[in-house]
Chains A and B, each alone.
Chain A
C-alpha cells in the first residue's frame, strides 16, 4: 500500500505556490473559499485512493 507523501514532492515549489496565489488574486473571500473547495475536490478525485485521502485529511488536521 502506498502512503501519503509528506516529503517534498513538487518540482518548482515556488512556481506552484505563486500560481496558487495568483488564482485567488482579485477574488472576494466567498469566491476564494469556493475556489479552494473546488480545488480540493479536483485534487481528491485525481488521487482517488480512499486510504490516501483519509491520510491526507488526517495530516491536514495537524493533530499528529
Chain B
C-alpha cells in the first residue's frame, strides 16, 4: 500500500539560488516543513510576505505522530485557509472510558459547549495534517503567493548577524549559502539550529518510554477514547486507544525506562501485547510502530535577535493533553502578525519581545499541565501511587473523584494575563473569559459564526455600540465589526462578550486575542490601546 507518507511531496529541485554568485537574501526563511513551519509559512505568504521553507526531508511525517488537534488550532487553521479539510477528514469523539486494573471505572461524555463552529478537537494523523498544509501551499503558489518549499535542503550551519541570519544549506548537489532578514526555526524537539547556536534547553527529563502503534482493525470499535491505568496486559503502566480516520487506531503503551527498544518494537513482541489488549478474536494489521521518550523543557527565551524559535524547537512537553503541535500552532499565530508589522516598519522590534512573554507563558502552562498528567499516570513515589490508586478506586463509585483522574488535560489556549500588549480591563465585571489577553471564544450569529468574521487583522468589535468604521493609528489599521446582541438569538454573544453590560467595544488582535475592552468607544483610549498592542507603549 502506498501511503501518503511514502510519497515525496516536495522533492528536491535545483534552485537558481544555488548558482547565484553571491548568497541570495530572502525576507523570511522557515527551517522545518512540519506542521509548525508550514503554518508559519502559509500565514506569511497569504499576507504577501516572501517566505522560503527549507526541510532536510521531502515527505510528510512518517507514522501518525501528533494525532489530536484542539478547537483553537482548528480556528487558526481556518484563518490559514485549511481548517475545513482537516475537520472533514478528522474523527470527532466525545465519549471517553477510564479503566483501572481489570475493570472499567467510569465513562464520560465531554459534552462540548455549544455555539462554536469547530469541535472541541479532532483526531487526525500528522501525515494528513501536513499533506493538507502542503496542499494549501500549492494553492497559494498557484495564486502567485511568494512561498516556496525546498526539500532535501538541510541547514548545516547558521550565523547570526544584527540584521540577518546566514545559513549553509546542504543538498544532494552540494551546499550553498543563503541569507534571511528573519529566520524562524521550526526544526523540532531535537532542533539542529538550537544546537548549532549553542542555546539552552532546560527542564525535566521523564525516564519513560512509550510504544506507539497504528493499527488497522477490522472490528467495529466505537469512536471513543479508552485509557487504562495499570491494566493486566501492561502491568504497572498505562495504555491508550484512540481512533483516527481510515479505520486506523492509535495505541500508546507505556513501557517504563529499562527496556530493550529494538526488541519491544519487533512485531512478534508487539502483536501478543495488542492481542491481550484488544481481545484474541480481533483481527488487526500493524501499520506503524515506534518508541518514543519525552521531556518537559523549554528554551529560556524563544527570540534570539533575527532567529526566532517556535513549536517543539522552543519547548517540549509530554504527549498527555495534546499540547505539542497544538501549542506550536499558537506560537506562529502569535508571532507572524507581529513579525509582519515589524518588517513593514509599522511596529518597533520590541513588539517581538512580547512573543517571548506570551508564548513562554503558554509553554509554561502546557509544561505544568502535562507534567501533572505525567505524575498521575506514572506515580514517582509509593505514596503518589497510593493516592493515585485511591482516586481511581473512588472514581468508580463517586463522581467527586472523577475530576481528579488525570489522563491528560486537553489543550486549551493560554490567556495572556499580564501581557505588556494588554490594556487594563475597562469593562468592569465583564465576562472573565473575554478579559484582555483572552483568545476570543466563538459565538453563533444566526447561520454564521463570529470568529470567521474577525479574520486575521486588527478588529474593533462593537456590540450595540457606536464607533468609527475604521481607525488608523501610526500606520496600523483597525476595521470595525458592528454587531448587536440581536444577531445571536441564543444569547451566547451577550453571555460571552457583554455579561451584565448592555454594550461593549473590543479591540481584537490579528491572532484573535482581546487587547482591550470598554463599555463604549473612546477615541483616545482605543488609540492608546492600539499603540500598546503593537509594542509602542512598552514600559515597565
Of B389, B400, B404, which contacts A34 at CB under 8 A? B389
Closest to B388 in A: A37
Per-residue contact bits, chain A 15-45, to B (CB 8 Å; 1 contact, 0 not): 0000000000000001001100110111001
Closest to B401 in A: A41
Contact B401 A37 (CB under 8 A): no
Interface residues of B in 379-415 (CB under 8 A from A): 383, 386-387, 389-391, 393-394, 398, 400-401, 404
B107 CB to nearest chain A CB (Å):
21
Q: Which residue of B lies closest to A45 (CB)?
A: B400
By a CB distance below 8 angstroms, the chain A residues around B400 are: 42, 45
- Residues in B with CB closer than 8 Å to A42 are 394, 398, 400
- The smallest beta-carbon distance between B111 and chain A, in angstroms, is 22
User: A-side binding surface: helix, strand, loop or mixed?
Assistant: helix
A45 to chain B, nearest CB (A): 4
Residue of B nearest to A38 (CB): B390
Number of interface residues of B (CB under 8 A): 12
Complex: A33 Cα to B401 Cα, angstroms: 18
CA A41 – CA B386 in complex, angstroms? 12
Give the Cβ gap from B257 to chain A, nearest Cβ, in Å.
24
Q: Give 1 or 0 for each of A33-62: 1 = CB within 8 Å of chain B CB.
A: 110011011100100000000000000000
Contact of B404 among A30, A33, A41 (CB under 8 A): A41
B 350-389 binary contact with A (CB < 8 Å = 1; else 0): 0000000000000000000000000000000001001101
Closest residue of chain A to B393 (Cβ to Cβ) is: A38
In the bound complex, residues from chain A placing their C-beta under 8 Å from that of B387 are: 37, 40-41
Give A44 Cβ to nearest chain B Cβ, in Å.
9
Q: Which residues of B contact A30 (CB under 8 A)?
A: 386
Contact B401 A34 (CB under 8 A): no
| Distance A45 CA – B391 CA, assembled complex (angstroms) | 11
- Return chain A residues, CB-CB under 8 Å to B391: 41
Nearest CB on A from B495, distance (A):
26
Closest CB of chain B to A32's CB: distance in Å? 10
B401 and A45 form a contact (CB under 8 A): yes
What residues on B are CB-neighbors of A33 within 8 Å?
383, 386
**In whole angstroms, what is the CA distance A45 to B394 when docked?**
12
Q: Who on chain A is nearest to B404 by CB?
A: A41
A40 / chain B contacts, CB cutoff of 8 Å: 387, 390
User: Is the Cβ of B404 less than 8 Å from the Cβ of A37?
Assistant: no
Whole-angstrom CA separation of A44 from B377 in the bound complex: 21
A34 and B386 contact, Cβ closer than 8 Å, known pairs A45-B400, A45-B401: yes
Task: Determine the distance from Cα of A31 to Cα of B227 in the docked complex, in whole angstroms.
Answer: 25
Closest chain A residue, CB of each to CB of B395: A41
Q: How far is the CB of B393 from chain A (nearest CB, A)?
A: 6
Report the bound CA distance from A38 to B383 in whole Å: 12
Give the Cβ gap from B273 to chain A, nearest Cβ, in Å: 27
With A and B bound together, what is the CA distance between A35 and B400 in angstroms?
Answer: 17
Residues of chain A within 8 A (CB-CB) of B383 are 33
Closest to A30 in B: B386
How does the 8 Å CB contact mask read for B408-430 relative to A, with 1 for contact and 0 for none?
00000000000000000000000
Could you say which residues of chain B place their CB within 8 Å of the CB of A41? Answer: 387, 390-391, 394, 401, 404
Which residues of B sit under 8 angstroms from A38, Cβ to Cβ?
Answer: 390, 393-394
| Alpha-carbon gap, A31 to B200, bound state (A) | 46
Residues on A with C-beta less than 8 A from B393 are 34, 38
Least CB distance, B418 to chain A, in whole angstroms: 21
Contacts of B401 in A (CB 8 A): 41, 45
CB nearest neighbor in A for B387:
A37
A47 CB, min distance to chain B CBs, angstroms? 12
| Cα separation A30 to B393 with both chains bound (whole Å) | 14
Which B residues form the contact surface with A (CB < 8 A)? 383, 386-387, 389-391, 393-394, 398, 400-401, 404
Some 18 contacts from A to B, beta carbons below 8 A apart, are A30-B386, A33-B383, A33-B386, A34-B386, A34-B389, A37-B389, A37-B390, A38-B390, A38-B394, A40-B387, A41-B390, A41-B391, A41-B394, A41-B401, A41-B404, A42-B398, A42-B400, A45-B400
Other than the given A34-B393, A37-B389, 20 more pairs (CB < 8 A) read A30-B386, A33-B383, A33-B386, A34-B386, A34-B389, A34-B390, A37-B386, A37-B390, A38-B390, A38-B394, A40-B387, A41-B387, A41-B390, A41-B391, A41-B394, A41-B401, A42-B394, A42-B400, A45-B400, A45-B401
